[in-house]
Structure 1
C-alpha cells in the first residue's frame, strides 16, 4: 500500500464534493470548516461502519475489499485512470475490472487521424470488439472492403473468416476464444460479449474450442497466416496496444508479409540502450 499517494488522492477528491449535494447541512457554528464531505459522511453515504473510510484514507486498512474501493471511486466521481491509481495505491495491483460498464466504449476523436496515418493494417475496437475506427489498409483485407461491425464475432463465427484466417482452427480460434472468456470475466454484464458467447456455444466448430479452457494468450507480437483479399496469402504480425482512456479497448496494427511460407525473421525485442 502506498499510504502517502492514497491519502493525497482521497483527500483531494473528497474535498471537491459539497455535503449539500448529498442532503447534508453544513454547520454554521464553530464546528468543522474543512471543504467537502467529512469522513463520517462518507461512511453514511456508503452504508459502512463508522470509521471504515477513515481507516482507508489514513492507510490503516490493509487489503481493503475491491467493493469498498469501487463504491468510494463512484461516490468521488473518479475516472478510469484515477480508478486504476486508487487500486494500485491501496492494493498494489490493477483493478479487477472497469469502474463503469460504459468504460472502454469510446476513444478520443483524434484516434481517427492517428489510425488513418498508419500505412499498415490498423483499427481500434472497443471493449466489446465493436469497431470504432479503421484505415483503408484494414478495409482492403476484407472482400469488397466490407469491415465487420464486431471483429470478434466475425473472427470466431463467420464462415468467410474461416477462409480468410488461414488455419483458423489451429492458428486463430484457440487464441481468440480465451480472449473472449477473459473479457467476460472482467465485464460479465456486457451484453455484446454475452451474446457472442451464446453464439459461440451454439456453433459446432467454435464451441469445442471455447470449452477447451486454454490460458489467455495476448496477441501482441504474435504471427498468424492470413488470406488478404487483394494481396493473397501471407502472414500478419500483430502489434496490440490499449488507449489509456478506454480500458478494455484495443488498438491493433497488423504488419502483413506476403507469401505462404514464413520466411522473414522475427524482429528482436526493443530495449533502451
Structure 2
C-alpha cells in the first residue's frame, strides 16, 4: 500500500495552486467555490479517468506506474524536485530496503579539515533531516556555535524555528525558514520511515504555528544555491552567496559554503569576523578548549 495521507495531501495541494489559465483551460463563467483545478481536470490533463485519479488521491489505488505518476506531474506542472517527491510518496510501503532507524551519520576527518581550511568562507555541513554535523570557525562566527547546544538539538531547521538568534540574524527570516521547511518535506519523502524526522516534525508542529502552516503547504525544494542577507551583531548587514556541495560517498551530507566577491563590503566584513575569531573566547569569557570540544561534539554521530 502507498502512503495514503501524504500522497493525497500533496496532490491536493498542488492542484489547489493552479488556475485553469495556468494549464490552458478556458476560464469559468462563474467563480469556483474552491481555488485550483478540479480532480476531473487533472485527470483529463494526465490522460486518466476521473475515477482512477480520485481513487489515487484518496489512497484507494495501489502502486501506480511511473508513467502514470509522470503524467500527473506534467499535468500539475511540477518541477523535477516535485516530480521526484511524487515518486517517493507513491512508493509502496515496505519497498524501502533501508532499516527503519538509519545508521548514525559520521563526518570524515578529511571533510572537517577541508572546511577548516576555508578561512575566508563560512561553512556548515548538514546531514539527514538537516542535522548540523560540522561547522568551520568562520561559520560559527557568522551563524551560531551549534556545539553549545545539546546533541539532540543540533538541527538547523529546529534552530531556525525556535532560537531567537536566528530571527535576528536572517534579515529575510520567513523566506529562509519556509524554504528549509520545504527542504525537510523533501527529506521526509525520501526517508518516510525515519523516526527522527517524524519526531522533529511532531515537535515543530506543536511548538511553532509558522512551521505547522508551512508544513501543511506541501512545498518541496532541494535547497541548492542562492543568496542570504544577514544582520550580524558585530559587523552589521551583509549579503552572501551560498552553494550546497553534496559529498560523494557520504549519502545525505551536504556542505553549505558562503562567499562574497573579493573586495566587496561583504568580503571586508567577513574579514573582520575572521580577525575577531582569535580573540572571541577571551572576550566572551570562554575557554578555547571548551569551544573546540563543543565543535568535536557536533562531529559525533547525529
TM range (shorter): 0.5 to 0.7
The reply on whether 1:134 has 2:135 as its aligned counterpart is yes
The reply on whether 1:152 has 2:157 as its aligned counterpart is yes
Match of 1:26 in 2: none
- 1:42-88 per-residue CA deviation (whole Å, 9 max, x = no partner) reads xxxxxxxxxxxxxxxxxxxxxxx9xxxxxxxxxxxxxxxxxxxxxxx
- Per the TM alignment, residue 210 of structure 1 is displaced from its structure 2 partner at its CA by 1.9
Higher helix residue share: 2
Once the two structures are overlaid, the 10-residue window that deviates more, 157-166 or 131-140, is: 157-166
- 1:4-62 per-residue CA deviation (whole Å, 9 max, x = no partner) reads xxxxxxxxxxxxxxxxxxxxxxxxxxxxxxxxxxxxxxxxxxxxxxxxxxxxxxxxxxx
Q: RMSD of the alignment, in Å?
A: 2.9
- 2:132 and 2:155 in contact (8 A); partners too: yes
Name the SS for the 1:227 alignment partner: strand
Match of 1:212 in 2: 217
- 1:232 and 1:258 in contact (8 A); partners too: no
Match of 1:226 in 2: 230
**1:164 is matched with which residue: 159, 162, 169?**
169
- Per the TM alignment, residue 125 of structure 1 is displaced from its structure 2 partner at its CA by 1.9
- Per the TM alignment, residue 195 of structure 1 is displaced from its structure 2 partner at its CA by 2.0
**TM-score w.r.t. structure 2 length?**
0.48
Structure 1 gap segments, 5+ residues each: 1-64, 66-95, 260-273
**Distance in 2 between residues matched to 1:109 and 1:144, nearest whole Å:** 19
Kindly report which structure 2 residues correspond to 1:24-103, keeping only aligned pairs within 5 A, or say none: 99=98, 101-102=101-102
- Per the TM alignment, residue 168 of structure 1 is displaced from its structure 2 partner at its CA by 1.3
- 1:124-167 per-residue CA deviation (whole Å, 9 max, x = no partner) reads 12213222221110110246786652222112332221221222
The reply on whether 1:247 has 2:289 as its aligned counterpart is no
Match of 1:85 in 2: none
Relative contact order (alpha carbons < 8 A, sep ≥ 6): 1 or 2 greater? Answer: 2
- 2:126 and 2:253 in contact (8 A); partners too: yes
Structure 2 gap segments, 5+ residues each: 1-64, 66-94, 267-302
**Distance in 2 between residues matched to 1:181 and 1:232, nearest whole Å:** 32
- Per the TM alignment, residue 254 of structure 1 is displaced from its structure 2 partner at its CA by 1.4
Once the two structures are overlaid, the 10-residue window that deviates more, 236-245 or 141-150, is: 141-150
**TM-score w.r.t. structure 1 length?**
0.52
- Per the TM alignment, residue 189 of structure 1 is displaced from its structure 2 partner at its CA by 2.6
- 2:183 and 2:223 in contact (8 A); partners too: no
Match of 1:49 in 2: none
- 1:104 and 1:249 in contact (8 A); partners too: no
Name the SS for the 1:107 alignment partner: coil
Length, aligned pairs only? 164
**Distance in 1 between residues matched to 2:102 and 2:123, nearest whole Å:** 24
**Distance in 1 between residues matched to 2:211 and 2:102, nearest whole Å:** 28
- Per the TM alignment, residue 99 of structure 1 is displaced from its structure 2 partner at its CA by 4.2
The reply on whether 1:175 has 2:179 as its aligned counterpart is yes
Name the SS for the 1:188 alignment partner: coil
- 1:63-120 per-residue CA deviation (whole Å, 9 max, x = no partner) reads xx9xxxxxxxxxxxxxxxxxxxxxxxxxxxxxx9784553581232211110101120
**1:192 is matched with which residue: 184, 187, 196?**
196
